[in-house]
Structure 1
């Protein structure tokens, strides 16, 4: 009776959990599952913040940033689809969701991982053309074309993720049997051919293209910097071009850091798969399979960390729309609140002056000089903050009063402003009443002080937008 009971119990367990298990201590499963959970939560939160800042800030909605958002989207989906299932299986010490769920889990991991790698290739090629061939690439990459490129990256990744469903290799449990991936352990022609082509067209060729692009970028930036400094040193155009090139190089450097971290994350997993491809699968232990897979999944947290720490535009946008993140990102309070209050408001300054003419009507008259209303969006503020401050400064210079003593002791005042149109006010009084002239002198002095204040305020705000 006892052997029959044991056999029935083992059959029920095998039907409930058809996948094999490995004999390792339970706390190893719990530790690895907890690490994956922490990595997944960090990746979900960080990538969500990057996508949220992109959706809220207009200045971030550029074609180049659309590729970065696509990268954040793939990392976010990787965390959402992989982390909870891996953690639950680790708590049960085995795969508990069945064969179809295993295939779907592995398919999502392969699709999002490949899309991330191809997106990094697209970012590198985009930076290559923008920096090395700025005139030829000017206006080429629009938002619509960026969407086409991203769609092509997804279809390319889909092409290499679907074959295991149709018999070319397979999706099976791996390592500690708490996660699934494509079958790289079986030494068969189908498995080996798929593994070889997958690494050639998804890992090695994109990696070589990325390395080539960044070598060319480095050479182009270095040679252009030397040429500009030698020929046009100190001129306004050279300073502007140097600033633009430095900004492009900074963006390329950030993308290069992302790529290096991505390669470091996937290199251990690639070494394990290539070891099995070479026929040495018996040398690999369950830990050697599971730990590199966990490191590869940790690549999803790199992008938000890099952009939150090194990219001022993303950091400022996140802190502006999620205020408590400004403390964690060490963004000054004046940058968080002064810019947002300035860009969300409409500024209108009115300068009034009162002059009396007792010789005609005996009633006070008002004349107003109004600046045009300016509702700054993120993009407009970025491009218009400095010119606006220079315009106000020039207006102050042009707003020069002209005082002249005419014949018969008459006092005349003329004030002209460019923004409001030319207006002239003249008041005439007898020489026996100099109070009117003094009042007009005081009124114009107040106008000048207000204009200087507006000019300095615009300059300060423009300097804040330069942080973007």
Structure 2
């Protein structure tokens, strides 16, 4: 049995099988309570997403499979990390042995990296659907989506296994109540693994995500400007496309929040690891190692809120199968209408887009049954396309903005003014504000508890 030590300042004394740190008891208890709250919230939120997917046939589309994989990885992250972390915090040391430490760190690395890969896949899928809607038709199927996810899992597995074979190692970290890969040891092997891990699992996927959403923003802004110029002609298809781009722009903003929250969640942990990589591990205290790890694990509670709970189809499914959640999720008639009328609106929008590409061919009023099935299988994106329905269901007849006035001449009443009415309540922005407030409250609580713990 390996002999290890407990440290207080610069001194060490013999201790348990694994090292311990001499910090106040309430520091361990506070960390344990915070991770327990985060874990329970993440498990419930992601479980609801998985449950809605399993119960609702309309949600089983290729694009939504990526969202469900994200929920699965976050759920597994919570269920494998929270109980162990909490129990060790109550005992103020790691009590489960070396093999359990390695498996705990392996699961945290695997599910965390797989979440990052899934976010990258979602970004690329959304890039294709929004910037190249016609080219993306028929490109994605359930089989292709599952193959992509299998590749993502194999890729992350390849980066999670090396510490078992001597390239770096899985060891206790921070307050010695959790485990991670060894980023503190200043050796060529450990530094090489840390550098490659951050390059191929964090920075490159992050660059792809940022580039994809940059292209989305640019395409939406360019299209919106073009459609604004022709919307005054009173063309019905132009009004639909204009409202569609407005909704996609709002959902792209929500996607940007996802990126920022993920970076904010993992940035402190990354800074700690890179500080040790640079050779300044002596500057890091146990608190500086443990608190970023808690914040990183808290990223599992954001994705179900942003990607699923704010989505009207998920909300409607949860409200239908779990009636008590209907009032909690504020499910409205508009959400149900959006869920039921999605395919017909999306079908007409894509048909009009194809006609713009081929003006010489006659307009097709409807699609065949096989094309309809293809659209429903390949074009239902969780964020961008469902938002179109919320906007079009209320504004499909609105050709000009609300501030514009149109002249209407009746046969006997003469000339009168009609002002287009506009509902000031925007569901998408309402959900966005609720998400921001909820996540902000989580961060405030974590920072407050951390401040209380340190002082």
Question: Would you call these one fold, judging by a TM-score over 0.5?
Answer: yes
Instruction: Give the TM-score normalised by the residue count of structure 1.
Output: 0.68
Specify whether residues 214 and 308 from structure 1 end up closer, same or farther in structure 2 by C-alpha distance, changes over 3 A only: closer
1:192-231 map, 5 Å: 192-231=191-230
Structure 1 CA distance for aligned equivalents of residues 56 and 237 of structure 2: 29
Specify whether residues 291 and 63 from structure 1 end up closer, same or farther in structure 2 by C-alpha distance, changes over 3 A only: same
**Contact 1:71 1:116 (C-alpha < 8 Å) held by counterparts:** yes
- Tell whether 2:190 aligns with 1:191: yes
Structure 2 CA distance for aligned equivalents of residues 308 and 273 of structure 1: 31
Alpha-carbon shift at residue 248 of structure 1 (Å): 3.9
Alpha-carbon shift at residue 312 of structure 1 (Å): 2.3
- Give CA deviations for 1:133-191 in whole Å, capped at 9, x if unaligned: 22221210111111111111111110100000010000000000000000000000000
- Tell whether 2:36 aligns with 1:37: yes
Which one is further off, 172-181 or 319-328? 319-328
**Contact 2:174 2:289 (C-alpha < 8 Å) held by counterparts:** yes
1:367-406 map, 5 Å: 382-384=342-344
**Contact 1:131 1:245 (C-alpha < 8 Å) held by counterparts:** no
Q: Rg larger in 1 or in 2?
A: 1
Residue equivalent to 1:284: 284
Residue equivalent to 1:239: 239
- Tell whether 2:129 aligns with 1:121: no
- Give CA deviations for 1:89-111 in whole Å, capped at 9, x if unaligned: 00100000000000000000000
Specify whether residues 69 and 281 from structure 1 end up closer, same or farther in structure 2 by C-alpha distance, changes over 3 A only: same
Specify whether residues 64 and 72 from structure 1 end up closer, same or farther in structure 2 by C-alpha distance, changes over 3 A only: same
**Contact 1:117 1:206 (C-alpha < 8 Å) held by counterparts:** yes
Residue equivalent to 2:414: none
**Contact 1:30 1:91 (C-alpha < 8 Å) held by counterparts:** yes
- Tell whether 2:273 aligns with 1:313: no
Alpha-carbon shift at residue 213 of structure 1 (Å): 1.0
Structure 2 CA distance for aligned equivalents of residues 28 and 124 of structure 1: 38
Alpha-carbon shift at residue 225 of structure 1 (Å): 1.1
Structure 1 CA distance for aligned equivalents of residues 61 and 200 of structure 2: 29
Secondary structure, in 3 states, of the residue corresponding to 1:141?
Answer: coil
Alpha-carbon shift at residue 239 of structure 1 (Å): 2.4
Cα root mean square deviation, aligned: 2.8
- Tell whether 2:124 aligns with 1:164: no
Structure 2 CA distance for aligned equivalents of residues 99 and 170 of structure 1: 11
1:27-426 map, 5 Å: 27-231=26-230, 233=232, 234-307=234-307, 310-332=310-332, 382-384=342-344
Secondary structure, in 3 states, of the residue corresponding to 1:180?
Answer: strand
Secondary structure, in 3 states, of the residue corresponding to 2:20?
Answer: coil
Structure 1 CA distance for aligned equivalents of residues 262 and 32 of structure 2: 21
Residue equivalent to 1:425: none
Secondary structure, in 3 states, of the residue corresponding to 2:172?
Answer: strand
User: How many residue pairs get matched?
Assistant: 342
Structure 2 CA distance for aligned equivalents of residues 216 and 64 of structure 1: 19
Specify whether residues 224 and 385 from structure 1 end up closer, same or farther in structure 2 by C-alpha distance, changes over 3 A only: closer
**Contact 2:231 2:242 (C-alpha < 8 Å) held by counterparts:** no
Alpha-carbon shift at residue 55 of structure 1 (Å): 1.9
**Contact 2:102 2:170 (C-alpha < 8 Å) held by counterparts:** yes
Residue equivalent to 1:398: none
Structure 1 CA distance for aligned equivalents of residues 22 and 62 of structure 2: 50
- Give CA deviations for 1:293-326 in whole Å, capped at 9, x if unaligned: 0000000000122245532222222222111111
**Contact 2:316 2:339 (C-alpha < 8 Å) held by counterparts:** no
Structure 2 CA distance for aligned equivalents of residues 44 and 176 of structure 1: 24
**Contact 2:53 2:60 (C-alpha < 8 Å) held by counterparts:** yes
Specify whether residues 124 and 463 from structure 1 end up closer, same or farther in structure 2 by C-alpha distance, changes over 3 A only: closer
Residue equivalent to 2:412: none
Structure 2 CA distance for aligned equivalents of residues 113 and 217 of structure 1: 26
Alpha-carbon shift at residue 129 of structure 1 (Å): 1.2
Secondary structure, in 3 states, of the residue corresponding to 2:46?
Answer: helix
